[in-house]
Amino acid sequence: MNTRQLDLAKIREFGNLEFLAKQLVEGFITGLHKSPFHGFSVEFAEHRLYNTGESTRHIDWKVYAKTDRLHVKRYEEETNLRCHILLDTSSSMYYPEESYGKMTFSIMAAASLANLLQRQKDAVSLCTFSDQIEVQTAVKSTPSHVHKILLELDNLLHQSKSLKKTSVAEVVHLLAEKIHKRSLVVIFSDMFDDLEHTEQLFSALQHLRHNLHEVLLFHVTDRRTEEEFQFEDRPYEFIDLETGDRVKVQPSQVRDSYQQYVKKFYQDLKLKCGQYKIDFIEADINQGYDPILLSYLVKRSKMK
């Protein structure tokens, strides 16, 4: 039974995606020692004059150098987290076509995260995009709001794919400008943007980090075919899901050069994420969404 049939069978059994996500999160929670996500502890608010006798810990010495007066930094406590879930809905995410595997993985994982965050009373939003932003919800923590997000995801799970290109770099740059408060940004994408101009993609990811957002990138792939190019040695007609372009080729004739090209792209992407302190999660859809998500959440909860 393929991945999509299995997941849709579960959803029909439980009634809807929301109920299935709740069941998954119940399973995750038993494997976690503590919450994997935490609010950003403090956020600078303003300066005030220093009072004689109080701690010098929060004196702003840069301000003192400019004004010759002692000022103390005041902070606002940040108890809750704001999370923006970014979901790539371009045509390549509906690969493999017989299972919609990458899209199914991303939707199920996103639904589980939204449910987990809402249980913590954290605010969450959903943004779906291809070469432009398609849906962008508000950032809220109410059960009714998360219910609407799960309905959006449920619609994506059942709708037919259409010809849509990817513009990850452009959309991420735009969202980096629109997200004004420090947030957790979770991206689900195969990152198949313009592979000839990867610096634009890396610049967009750096833009998020420059604005002090924490970033998780779930790099969603079908490793067996998209990275290892494991096809039977017979003639194939490969179709670009985002442009419709077609090419006929014998896999063995191009496998080595293809593997080298893709491997370099993946390595560069992983390296840049490491440099920018972005959590890079390799999400091979053949492993299933729950083992990947659970193993990451357990790892994260131990690091906090």
Q: What is the DSSP string of 233-278?
A: SS-EEEE-TTT--EEEE-HHHHHHHHHHHHHHHHHHHHHHHHHTT-
Inter-residue contact 131 to 165 (CB < 8 Å):
yes
Q: What is the pTM of this model?
A: 0.79
Separation CA 7–CA 101 (nearest Å): 10
Separation CA 204–CA 215 (nearest Å): 12
For 33, the token pair is 């020692």
Most confident segment among 10-19, 66-75, 161-170, 294-303: 161-170
Inter-residue contact 118 to 301 (CB < 8 Å):
no
All structural domains of the chain: 3-37+80-303 (3.40.50.410), 42-77 (no CATH)
Q: Phi-psi region for residue 288, left (φ > 0), alpha (ψ -120 to 50) or beta?
A: left
Burial (CB count within 10 angstroms: exposed 0-12, middle 13-18, buried 19+), residue 209: middle
For 289, the token pair is 């969404």
Residue 170: is its pLDDT beyond 90?
yes
282: nearest Cα among 128, 102, 67: 102
pLDDT of residue 2: 46
Element (H, E) at 207: helix 198-210
Q: In the predicted model, what is the mean pLDDT of residues 179-185?
A: 92
Element (H, E) at 135: strand 133-136
Inter-residue contact 286 to 223 (CB < 8 Å):
yes
For 286, the token pair is 């053949």
Q: In the predicted model, what is the mean pLDDT of residues 49-78?
A: 78
Separation CA 300–CA 304 (nearest Å): 7
Residue 110: is its pLDDT beyond 90?
yes
Cis peptide before 291 (omega within 30 of 0): no
Residue 175: is its pLDDT beyond 80?
yes
Which is it for the CA torsion 194, 130, 283, 101, positive or negative?
negative
